[in-house]
Amino acid sequence: MSDFAMYHALGQGSPNPNGPTRKDEPNKFRPTVAASPGGYQQSGSPAIANAPSQYYGTPNQNTPPMQSPGYFPPQGQVPQYQPAQDMNNLTNQMGSVGLGVDPGAQPHRPHKKKDRHAYHNIEGPGGSSQAFNGVPQAGTPTQFLSQSNSPGAPQWQSPQITPAMNQFPAAANMFNPANPATAAQHAARTGPGDQLAGSPASSSQGRVDPEQIPSIPRSRDAPAKYYLEHVYPTMEHHLPPPALVPFVAYDQGNSSPKFARLTLNNIPSSNDALSATSLPLGLILQPLARLQEGEQPVPVLDFGETGPPRCRRCRTYINPFMTFKSGGNKFVCNMCTFPNDVPPEYFAPTDPSGARVDRLQRPELTLGTVDFMVPKEYWSKEPVGLRWLFLIDVTAEAVNRGFLDGFCEGIMSALYGGEKEKSEDGEGGQKRLPPGAKVGIVTFDKEIHFYNLSASLDQAQMLVMPDIEDPFVPLSDGLFVDPEESKAVITSLLTQLPNMFSEVKNPEPALLSTLNSALAALTATGGKIVCSLSALPTWGPGRLFLRDDGNIHNTDAEKKLFTTEHPGYKKVATKMVESGVGVDFFMAAPSGGYLDIATIGHVSALTGGEVYYYPNFHSPRDTLKLSKEIKHTVTRETGYQALMKVRCSNGLQVSAYHGNFYHHTFGADLEFGVIDADKAIGVMFSYDGKLDPKLDAHFQSALLYTTASGERRVRCSNIVASVSEGAVEAMKFVDQDAVVSIIAKEAAARMAEKSLKDIRGALTEKTVDILAGYRKNFSGNNPPGQLVLPENLKEFSMYILGLVKSRAFKGGKEPTDRRVHDMRMLKAMGPLELSLYLYPRIISIHNLDEQDGFANENGHLRMPESVRASFSKVEEGGAYLVDNGQVCLLWMHGQVSPNLLEDLFGEGQTSLKQLDAFQSALPVLETHLNAQVRNILQYLEGTRGSKALTLQMARQGLDGAEYEFARLLYEDRNNEAQSYVDWLVHVHRHIQLELAGQRKKEDTDSSSSLGSTFVGLRTPYWG
């Protein structure tokens, strides 16, 4: 019991359920590889004793630093996870709709070692006599087996051989469940054979076994297990873990995939070669991404008045891929190859191998991601601690529906920790905001009220701004205060606000005037606005009206509703970006009413902020979610007044950006009022020449921003990819999550100009293009009728089907508020959040193994396997968690066991009807099952994007959320789209037509414009 009982104790707060204790802990494994980051990470001080094992900057050293004996599995050993085997079996079963997975079996010659190659060993496991690139093995069954050892195969398919080295102590055993695994709980299990009536999907041929088509749950579960015990070394491996999988990255000079993911980690040298794949060449950047426990924080480097060294010609920042020559007097830019003089203060001699002798003491020369402090020339105004300005809607609807109450409570929880947290640490919660950060409070209905929050006052003083036509800021001192010093004043005000306005009850908020006066208050410093809104702002300047009456859905005119032409909102948004101000909105439509998110949310989208939307806000059910999300917004890493620039190697150029930001002309930097840990940007590249296969392709993103504590910095992320003449290698290093992200972001960007039907059609076409391209050019000798999927794009079609079924793009009726909201989210979310959004994680909790949901012997939470998103997988009497990163449903079958209910919800709770439909969290009970599920929920809480995890009850036959459950079963026929099986059959049919030269572009209204632009890799490929 001690093994699995301990976890729950952890679960109360500190260590990450998915936390450390990795066997190949970065500092210990393979010290000869890039020893410096290891040393750097180990001590936090750069000194390290190891002899320099030069990686870059040692062109004469051909020895691959990559292999230490034994890391890769000996050939012939059975890997832990072999989807290919299944695929192989499937091939035999599927007949005319044959499905195979091909690892890139086309014969090709091994290529020569390259002097300056990022991945010295792409040829495959060192020392192997069966290196994949050696003798082609196409067509033989062994190709499927060998692929797991091939260089392109994910490393989680390899058995682990690395020595166990636990640096983290085992967690203390503090919790003993009173009722470990009751008999009742086991009785509640249902055999896997008991399926409901929902029939499994079948294809038109009726021959596809739905069990055998590529499974997203399996593609996540296997690597998740692997990365519990292994780190991801960013240079040695160049196929990142799936985005949803928690992992510890070991920065070896190439940025962690958490900050940057390339669609192709091996890039074809020419546009023609890339076109054969139909894949986009793009980069997903999430510059302030959250790191996980066990990862070293990004170092902050200070070069004083001179700032960080940069290339004089192209302004690239110093990075691990710049090389030194002339005894250390010159550094050669990795982007433009310009030889720069090393500034005297940065000089260090080079050793005989050409590396700087101080390289290992220099994080900027060893790490892919660093922060540089920057001097005054990078400032546009004096950087100060971040000003948080809370704009609180106090109109009637906010008061009546409990939204005001919830919002005020959420702010207090964000600033000071909630009541619960207070009792836990006894100190009244820890300080949430960094030193220097300040807060201010404004309330609004048809008037705007400012508050003096000076610590010297007994209570806050309200100043009403009478003229909303010409807003100004009625006070200078006391508007922004230190939240600790003024804690008493702030908490007292927030506690009283709901009562203060319960008598007033103005129905109409004057939002635009409030935003303008908030901007006036923040113009001098920049800052972040957090604004609540619970009714369509119909008062004062910029009043909005009901644009969506439901009559133009599914028409061409609908797309007008996805955007705004409102001059007032557009103007305030632009001015905010200029002043370094951004807005997060918390919008509730308590009666499901229209809020014109297209117009209001535009301010968030342009300034780099976010909209949290509660389409059917219900208090108290949703107040926990509201409170957690306010807290998340305030406490996540946030920078403001930011500019971003992406540079790349000669031969490539940026062709498009996708995301939420302000971009005033192409070629200019991207501008963000604010940017936070959850925001990602898609960057697409095109060729302006040919890449040299003897060199690598380099990318550097530089985000100039002010931290919440008031430091002006540049966050640099450096990404490197190898280059090959053709695209065969590229297909082995495709990052599926990055490809899906780029396509999703671009599709979202088209919503204002294309009809939804066109977009869905284009997504289908793109899927066919990519898979047909593979079939035509790379798949080797497979039977003609077989659907062959690239090894690293096996789940790609399902993710695209998820996108087609998403709220943003799905067919059928959907309020425009929800569509626009999801569309902007898609543009901004990172690959992790997107993965979950496109395919939910479903966990059955009625048949958990006794040890599931508790720590294993290494202290890692043992997670049960997840279930495919299909009703055919739902068991009679079952209970399921369904988490898509936005909502987490607890769906329970009508025949669920009363014992299970009692174990989960407490004594006497024996029927679905008895349960509180509005509970948003599980009670804390001392039953085994209750602890298991709470631990699992905590794990899910740690692997998501910006939305908080709370439970929403979806009892069969009782709760409306059951519809959402059905909607999220993306493998079934729903959302006016096909089942997964039918979708694959459809895609396959069109691939065959394409191969036969008979494919017609379909599914588009305006085939004249779209179909013809869908060739290959022109970027943007939407025309």
Q: Nearest Cα to 775, choosing from 986, 991, 984, 1017?
A: 991
Q: Which is nearer to Zn ion, 315 or 553 (CB)?
A: 315
- Cα separation of 933 and 888, whole Å? 13
Q: Which is nearer to Zn ion, 336 or 463 (CB)?
A: 336
By the rule CB under 5 A, 702 interacts with Zn ion: no
By the rule CB under 5 A, 336 interacts with Zn ion: yes
Share of the chain residues as helix, strand and coil, in percent rounded to the nearest 5: 30, 20, 50
- Cα separation of 685 and 580, whole Å? 28
By the rule CB under 5 A, 455 interacts with Zn ion: no
As to burial, measured by CB atoms within 10 angstroms (0-12 exposed, 13-18 middle, 19+ buried), residue 61 is middle
Listed ranges 180-188, 272-280, 304-312, 354-362: which one lies at the site for Zn ion (CB under 5 A): 304-312
Q: Which is nearer to Zn ion, 688 or 926 (CB)?
A: 688
Listed ranges 327-335, 452-460, 502-510, 899-907: which one lies at the site for Zn ion (CB under 5 A): 327-335
By the rule CB under 5 A, 808 interacts with Zn ion: no
- Cα separation of 465 and 470, whole Å? 10
Instruction: Give the residue carrying structure tokens 């292999």.
Output: 67
Q: Which is nearer to Zn ion, 333 or 642 (CB)?
A: 333
By the rule CB under 5 A, 175 interacts with Zn ion: no
CB of 321 to Zn ion, least distance (A): 11
Interacting residue with Zn ion among 66, 235, 333, 762 (CB under 5 A): 333
Q: Which is nearer to Zn ion, 184 or 336 (CB)?
A: 336
- Cα separation of 532 and 584, whole Å? 9
Q: Amino acid identity of 675?
A: I
As to burial, measured by CB atoms within 10 angstroms (0-12 exposed, 13-18 middle, 19+ buried), residue 595 is buried
Listed ranges 54-62, 88-96, 329-337, 568-576: which one lies at the site for Zn ion (CB under 5 A): 329-337
What's the 3-state SS for 333-363?
Answer: CCCCCCEEECCHHHCCCECCCCCECCHHHCH
Stretch 253-292: interaction string toward Zn ion, x if CB under 5 A: ----------------------------------------
Listed ranges 280-288, 314-322, 365-373, 987-995: which one lies at the site for Zn ion (CB under 5 A): 314-322
- Cα separation of 487 and 475, whole Å? 20
CB of 334 to Zn ion, least distance (A): 8
By the rule CB under 5 A, 1 interacts with Zn ion: no
Listed ranges 264-272, 315-323, 566-574, 942-950: which one lies at the site for Zn ion (CB under 5 A): 315-323
The two counts, helices (H) then strands (E), for the chain are 26, 29
By the rule CB under 5 A, 335 interacts with Zn ion: yes
Q: Which is nearer to Zn ion, 343 or 620 (CB)?
A: 343
CB of 340 to Zn ion, least distance (A): 8
By the rule CB under 5 A, 530 interacts with Zn ion: no
Output the CA–CA distances (angstroms, integers) from residue 170 to 173, 191, 850, in the order listed: 9, 35, 20
Site for Zn ion in 337-376 (CB under 5 A): 338
Q: Which is nearer to Zn ion, 291 or 336 (CB)?
A: 336
Token pair in block for residue 898 = 């009363």
By the rule CB under 5 A, 322 interacts with Zn ion: no
Q: Which is nearer to Zn ion, 303 or 338 (CB)?
A: 338
Q: Which is nearer to Zn ion, 316 or 525 (CB)?
A: 316
CB of 322 to Zn ion, least distance (A): 9
By the rule CB under 5 A, 494 interacts with Zn ion: no
Stretch 396-435: interaction string toward Zn ion, x if CB under 5 A: ----------------------------------------
Q: Which is nearer to Zn ion, 316 or 532 (CB)?
A: 316
In this structure, are residues 8 and 175 in contact, taking their beta carbons and an 8 Å threshold? yes
Q: Which is nearer to Zn ion, 149 or 700 (CB)?
A: 700
Listed ranges 203-211, 239-247, 308-316, 887-895: which one lies at the site for Zn ion (CB under 5 A): 308-316
What ranges make up the beta strands (E) of 845-918? Answer: 879-883, 888-892
Q: Which contiguous run of DSSP H or E holds residue 676?
A: strand 670-676
- For 306, which DSSP code? G
Q: Which residues contact 186 (CB under 8 A, 6 or more apart)?
A: none
- Cα separation of 367 and 997, whole Å? 48
Rg, C-alpha atoms of the chain: 28
By the rule CB under 5 A, 314 interacts with Zn ion: yes
Site for Zn ion in 50-79 (CB under 5 A): none
By the rule CB under 5 A, 316 interacts with Zn ion: yes
Number of residues located near Zn ion, criterion CB under 5 A? 8
Listed ranges 310-318, 402-410, 650-658, 907-915: which one lies at the site for Zn ion (CB under 5 A): 310-318
Token pair in block for residue 618 = 């219900």
CB of 323 to Zn ion, least distance (A): 12
Q: Amino acid identity of 698?
A: H
For residue 77, the cross-strand partners are none
Q: Which is nearer to Zn ion, 336 or 993 (CB)?
A: 336
As to burial, measured by CB atoms within 10 angstroms (0-12 exposed, 13-18 middle, 19+ buried), residue 400 is middle
Longest dimension (CA), the chain: 82
| First and final C-alpha spacing in the chain | 61
Listed ranges 16-24, 250-258, 309-317, 748-756: which one lies at the site for Zn ion (CB under 5 A): 309-317
Residues near Zn ion, by CB under 5 A: 311, 313-314, 316, 333, 335-336, 338
